[in-house]
Structure 1
Amino acid sequence: LATFLVQKGVPDLVFFPSLAPSATVYPRTPVEMGDPNLLVCLVDRFFPPVLNVTWLKNGHPVSQGVEETAFYPSVDTTFWKFSYLPFIPEDGDVYVCQVEHLGLSEPLQRIWSKQRGRRAPPSQL
């Protein structure tokens, strides 16, 4: 991301202290197998306001239908944003919201899955 910042003409942000984001993944509505829904990835408490969110389904990148909000400022000078993935839940599918940011040494991953007859595990690792 540092290279990206320099290419976009904002190299000064590379030298500010970075605050690593946190992330949470959850479905918009209660999940019913086979019914369309929306996965929400909330990324918050980060600085600078530059990051990359990637969705994975069963280990493969997904981009169709993905939407993101702008960066929103928090009162503590950090930022937050949402990324949305429309999906149709199927038994055994595993979804990952992966976040890359200057404050992270490696991508942050939050996992969501649901198996028939079982509650989904918490999205925080």
Structure 2
Amino acid sequence: MQKDPSVNVLGAPLQPCSVNPLTGFFRDGACNTCEQDAGSHTVCAVMNAEFLAYSKYVGNDLTTPRPEFGFAGVQPGDRWCLCAARFRQAFDEGCAPGVVLEATHRNALAVVPLHMLQACALEQ
């Protein structure tokens, strides 16, 4: 799999999202993506309890550890490369998490308008 260019939504080099927990489609700590990333794991989101409960409610439990997959679970305050469509859905429902624009891949813009990401932007 070949990564798409590592560029963020601001047009600058993509910054790391998280290495603890290790995130990203490539599990490289960044929200890099490629053609095979059907979920577009491109939004660097800062988890909060409200979003994690919402995500579990809509069928994506990010908090329960899955040791068989090397997944310890995500906690409030953790950064995580979130699927762009899930971010958009949460935004539309009023419970989107914070976003680190510098670590959000530009391919997220195919699903989420920049103004929505900016509305949830946090300082890096």
**TM-score (norm: length of structure 2):** 0.29
The structure with more radius of gyration: 1
**TM-score (norm: length of structure 1):** 0.29
Which structure would you say has the larger RCO, counting Cα contacts within 8 Å and 6 or more residues apart? Answer: 2
